[in-house]
Amino acid sequence: MPSDNPPAAGLVTFTDRMRAQSKGVVEAAARFFIRAGVTPDAMTLLGLMGSTVGAVLLALGAVPPGGIVILLSGLTDALDGTMARLRGKPTRFGAFLDSTMDRYSELFIFGGLAVYFGFASDVLGVAVAFAAAIGSVMVSYTKARAEALGFECKVGLLTRMERYMVLCPLLILNLPFLAAAAVAVLANFTALQRIGHVYRLARDGA
């Protein structure tokens, strides 16, 4: 679930700004699902299910429909944390579940693209999808590991929201290779940005 902690001064990311600007709409949607009896953890799992369906569609060659499903499933990422906060019951397990399911979702998506490229005997496409999966996981891992060691690590070009904003439109436009390649380059660049950031903090004794 998205963190409710405010970012450090000078480190307001694009994702932070988007969340602030869409807060009213997200909270209204969250209240609707709460009244419907949906729990935050159920919303998290619903997002995983959507990503899985989208990944299967990609693997079968239905790229634009897969992109639409993945885009819709990505909206749950904003809802589950907001639902927990509005219910007054955010839990450490809920945050853990959300982060874990996010990683599964992204790996399923890039796995679906790898299968799609494999069926087409596109070796380069398979490699690019694999590189995109590596980058996506490493962006999250570098932040989690840095924060476990006491370093602030919100920097970087392509957080999860930005990855979806790059990936989904290109999939909907039926440009799967470009979608995978863009994430492969930008996500791995972001991971390197975070490694460099933590190195500088450690060097300076932060």
Task: Summarize pLDDT for 23-71 with one digit per residue, the tens.
Answer: 778 888 888 999 998 988 999 999 999 999 999 999 999 999 999 999 9
Q: Which CATH number fits domain 14-203: 1.10.260.40, 3.20.20.70, 3.40.50.20, 1.20.120.1760?
A: 1.20.120.1760
Q: What angle do CA 103, 100, 70 make, to 5 degrees?
A: 45
Distance CA 206, CA 189 (A): 23
Q: What angle do CA 162, 20, 157 make, to 5 degrees?
A: 25
Q: What distances in angstroms separate CA 37 from CA 27, 44, 57, one per listed residue?
A: 15, 14, 29
* pLDDT tens over the chain, length 206 residues: 334 334 444 455 556 666 666 677 888 888 899 999 898 899 999 999 999 999 999 999 999 999 999 999 988 887 888 888 888 877 889 889 988 999 999 999 999 999 999 999 999 999 999 999 999 999 999 999 999 999 999 888 888 888 999 999 999 999 999 999 999 999 999 999 999 999 999 998 75
Question: What's the pLDDT score for residue 205?
Answer: 78
With tokens 């920097």, the residue in question is 155
Question: What's the pLDDT score for residue 13?
Answer: 58
Contact 116, 61 (CB under 8 A): yes
Question: What's the pLDDT score for residue 91?
Answer: 81
Contact 43, 83 (CB under 8 A): yes
Q: Which of 165, 48, 168 is nearest to 105 (CA)?
A: 48
Amino acid at 114: A
Which tokens in the block code for residue 175? Answer: 């440009």
Q: What angle do CA 28, 106, 35 make, to 5 degrees?
A: 20
Question: What's the pLDDT score for residue 71?
Answer: 93
Amino acid at 48: L
Question: What's the pLDDT score for residue 14?
Answer: 59
Question: What's the pLDDT score for residue 74?
Answer: 86
Domain boundaries, the chain: 14-203
